[in-house]
Amino acid sequence: MSGYQLTLEQIEQFDKQGYIILDQLLDTEEVELLRKIARADLQMKQDVASRADGEGGAIDLVVRNDVEPDTIYGAIVASESLVNAVETVLGDEVYHYHHKMILKEPKVGGAWAWHQDYGYWYNNGCLSPDMASCLIAVDKATKENGCLQVVPGSHRLGRIDHGAVGDQTGADPERVAAIVERMPVEYVELEPGSAVLFHSNLLHRSDQNKSENPRWAFICCYNAKSNDPYKEGRHPRYTPLEKRPDADILSTGRKQWEQMESLSS
């Protein structure tokens, strides 16, 4: 990830479309370490939660509110280039809101209903949608294995009412139907290590994974300092995020993997 910087064109696109693609945010070794560590992470396997998608499937995920400094997850979340990029598009200091791993396994990985992240986070006491997420592809993301779908520009429509969809929370179906009739839907296909940075009001979803290939994704979520929640919620209130050199991703990941190998031998 060393020295990744947004271009003026990317900044303008984020404002207009609500999302940008960050090609090769993680290099080959970084994403390979992330993949190996996540697949072998016994604690992650114990903490997996499953959410029915209302379409006959379920999606597995693991959510963390702590930065986890001695893990590759924490090194990515606090990496200088990524945090700087989020601060650039939001125009404010940001802090770590939470991060999560989405585990879409072959043939059984469930869907995510149409939603806005702020549709959830509004109820946590965040007064403004000055929040963003960065989804990093751990595996190749394609239409076949249920990649992210977005409605470009939908972040400008404001917060949509959300309600229950299976075990998930989804945007008002009637309103979503009217939106996708008037606005195009785009599939965000990504190579491993590439990412999509998107606004919390961007309408997005994903299909079930009916392919032979897994689609795991690592999502880092951030909130603006000025948007510190007014009440306690599921995720943290403002705590300064200490940025770390991008090089820490490799050094921390290598050390973590060595420790995991030694414990398993």
Using CB atoms within 10 A of its CB, is residue 9 exposed (0-12), middle (13-18) or buried (19+)? exposed
Q: What is the pLDDT of residues 72-128, one digit of tens each?
A: 999 999 999 999 999 999 999 999 999 999 999 998 777 888 999 999 999 999 999
What was the pLDDT predicted at 54?
64
Q: What is the pLDDT of residues 222-255, one digit of tens each?
A: 999 999 999 999 999 999 999 999 999 999 999 9
Res. 194: pLDDT tops 90:
yes
The Cα 36–Cα 164 span in angstroms is: 34
Is residue 63 included in any domain, yes or no? yes
Res. 17: pLDDT tops 90:
yes
Number of H helices, E strands in the chain: 8, 13
Res. 59: pLDDT tops 90:
no
Domain that holds residue 187: 11-224+234-258
**Average pLDDT over the chain, rounded to an integer:** 94
Q: What is the pLDDT of residues 148-184, one digit of tens each?
A: 999 999 999 999 999 887 777 899 999 999 999 999 9
The Cα 134–Cα 180 span in angstroms is: 23
Tokens 């993301």 belong to 141
Is residue 211 included in any domain, yes or no? yes
Is residue 113 included in any domain, yes or no? yes
Q: What is the pLDDT of residues 122-145, one digit of tens each?
A: 999 999 999 999 999 999 999 999
Give the chain's domain count.
1
What was the pLDDT predicted at 53?
62
What lies within 8 Å, CB to CB, of 71 at 6+ separation is 37, 252, 256
What was the pLDDT predicted at 62?
95
Residue 106 phi, psi dihedral angles, 5° rounding: -55, 135
Is residue 5 included in any domain, yes or no? no
CATH number of 49's domain: 2.60.120.620
What pairs with residue 221 in β-bridges? 98, 133
